[in-house]
Amino acid sequence: MKAGLFPGSFDPVTNGHIDVIRRAGKLFDKLIVAVAINESKDAMFTLEERTELLKAACKGIPRVEIICFEGLLMNAVKTYGTSAVVRGLRAISDFEYEFQMAMMNRELDPNYETVFLMSSPSYSFVSSRMIKEIVKLGGDVSPFVPPAIAEALKRKHKHG
């Protein structure tokens, strides 16, 4: 069975993430979506909240498993026995960063493979960072995130 791993902070999960998950899910027998603990990012949602929101957003997508991981991506790849890591690309700036990361991971493990999926044009400008900014400024993010995420963002914004 070929399994892929799609890591990210998913803070919050966007329609762009869901698009990549749906498309990557067709390439593998199983897709593990891995919520990463990233200490360098100022998270709006806790790890548990991000995991639950991702599960809600992925409900009904076949062959998807949601997990959490901390530390090196390579350790998660080995732990879950995945054959490739999936990364979404929105712009050239994403490619430069992702290319460096893929090459470093390949140096750490020569068997490591990365599959890059270009974002669908309708999501090419959507990022979690922008979603959080729109919410903080009182804007409507419902066109950019799944309904459960939009509701969670409204609740989070109201309660600070």
The catalytically annotated residue of 50, 87, 119, 128 is: 128
| Catalytic (active site) residue 90 | yes
Backbone dihedral region for residue 63 (phi beyond 0: left; psi -120 to 50: alpha; all else: beta): left
The catalytically annotated residue of 90, 154, 156, 157 is: 90
The catalytically annotated residue of 2, 41, 59, 136 is: 41
- Say how far apart CA 53 and CA 47 lie, in whole Å: 10
- Say how far apart CA 152 and CA 10 lie, in whole Å: 13
Q: Tell me, rounded to whole angstroms, the distance of Cα 88 from its chain centroid.
A: 8
| Catalytic (active site) residue 41 | yes
| Catalytic (active site) residue 158 | no
The catalytically annotated residue of 17, 50, 87, 132 is: 17
| Catalytic (active site) residue 157 | no
Going by C-alpha positions, the residue among 149, 153, 154 that lies closest to residue 55 is 149
Annotated catalytic residues are: 17, 41, 90, 128
